Amino acid sequence: MLEFESDDEKIAQNPGLMEYAHTAGGAVIRPEDQGKVKGRAVLAMRQQTDMQMAQLYQQMQLLAEQAKAIRQRVDVSERIYSAQMSFEPLIGNTYYLYERTDGTDVLSLIGPGEWGRSRPFKQFVATVRLLADHTWDVSYTDGSAA
């Protein structure tokens, strides 16, 4: 029995909680440098959040571009409805918005390339198409409508 008592001194009571290997063939346990662990974790967190912020910024830019396009479409639509029209626009047809020399607008069936040498208007503003909800799809504008 004396042998067992001496073995108790050599056996670890809680080997999983020891800071070192408790047997000759046990795995080497090295204490981690907490600064390195936290540094790597913070770096990974920053990379992830920077990536997410960049994605949100791209989405924000897309929304801003879409809002700008809608605003421009509204501006051109308002110009069209205040322009002189000598016909009733039909849904799905393409029309051309021009600005006269006196600053008034006119909606025409004749495109800018169809006038030949005589250009009765100051400038071409936009090619538009009437949609089913009576809004206008602006295919081309030279920037003067905004």
pLDDT (tens digit per residue) in 125-140: 889 999 998 888 888 7
Residue at 95 is within a domain: yes
In a domain, 14, yes or no: no
For residue 40, is it within any domain?
yes
Q: Are 94 and 129 in contact (CB under 8 A)?
A: yes
Q: How many domains does the chain have?
A: 1
* DSSP per-residue string spanning 91-144: TT-EEEEEE-TTS-EEEESS-GGGSTT---SSEEEEEEEE-TTS-EEEEEE-ST
pLDDT tens digit sequence for 23-71: 667 777 676 677 888 888 999 999 999 999 999 999 999 999 999 988 8
Let me know if residue 3 belongs to a domain. Answer: no
**Average pLDDT of the residues of the chain:** 83
**What pLDDT is stored for residue 47 in this prediction?**
95
| pTM listed for this prediction | 0.56
Is 94 among the domain residues?
yes
Q: What is the pLDDT of residue 67?
A: 95
In this structure, the chain runs to a length of: 146
The verdict on residue 27 lying in a domain is: no
Inside any domain, residue 77: yes
Residue 146 forms part of a structural domain: no
Q: With the C-alpha atoms ordered 146, 104, 142, 70, is the resulting torsion angle positive or negative?
A: positive
Which range marks the domain in which residue 125 is found?
33-141
Instruction: Fill in the DSSP letter of residue 133.
Output: T
